[in-house]
Amino acid sequence: MSSPVEVTELYDNALLGILQHVGNIQNFLQVYFGFLYRKTDFYRLLSGPQDRMGFPPGVAEKMVFKFLQLSLSKTGEVWWSAVLKGEAEIDVNQINRERTMATVDEEEHAVLDRLSFDYHQKLQGRPQSHEIKVHEMLKKGWDAEGSPFKGQDFDPSMFNIPHSAVQF
């Protein structure tokens, strides 16, 4: 009889092989749910008390949602209790979990700079970076040849610009 660890390892290897073969999570999930559709009663609804296969309406979906909620709740940052089994436990309160700016790559640094700029602008009641970007685009159109507004003063306060208006 195989131990639970051996069985888990066996399943992990099989699923990993499928994932490597299909190349990404979306295709893996298509294979997985396709299997459930073709080879199980997962998608079959019970039509009456005489049915022996299938699920009552909504039960299969609830199983998937419950599993996803459980899985997603475990995606937080986890600290190991020890580096190796048998070693003394690590006191996570003694670990410095902060990152220095030197460890941040250029892209993250640019995002942090923008967030800091936006924070200070908001405190001062001034336009944030997404608003400034939209104002610049609107001003170009305002002064464009053929615009009925050409030659008039551009007033950015006329526009209420949501964060979703610009993608960074």
pLDDT in tens, the chain (168 residues): 677 778 888 888 899 899 899 988 888 889 998 998 899 888 888 888 888 888 888 888 888 887 777 666 555 566 667 666 677 887 777 777 677 777 778 888 888 888 889 889 889 988 888 888 888 888 888 888 888 888 888 887 777 766 666 655
pLDDT for the residue 124: 92
55 three-class SS: strand
pLDDT confidence of residue 50 = 83
- As a whole number of angstroms, the distance between CA 151 and CA 168 comes to 30
**Tokens encoding 142:** 């305002």
Q: Is the pTM for the entire model greater than 0.85?
A: no
User: Tell me, what's the pLDDT at 125?
Assistant: 86
* Domain residue ranges of the chain, discontinuous segments joined by +: 1-39, 42-74, 109-161
Q: Which residues of 41-50 are buried (b: 16+ CB within 10 A; e: fewer)?
A: ebeeeeeeee
Largest CA distance in the chain: 85
Q: What DSSP character marks residue 38?
A: H
**Element of type H or E holding 22:** helix 4-22
Question: What is the DSSP code (8-state) at residue 12?
Answer: H
Residue type at 24 in one-letter notation: N
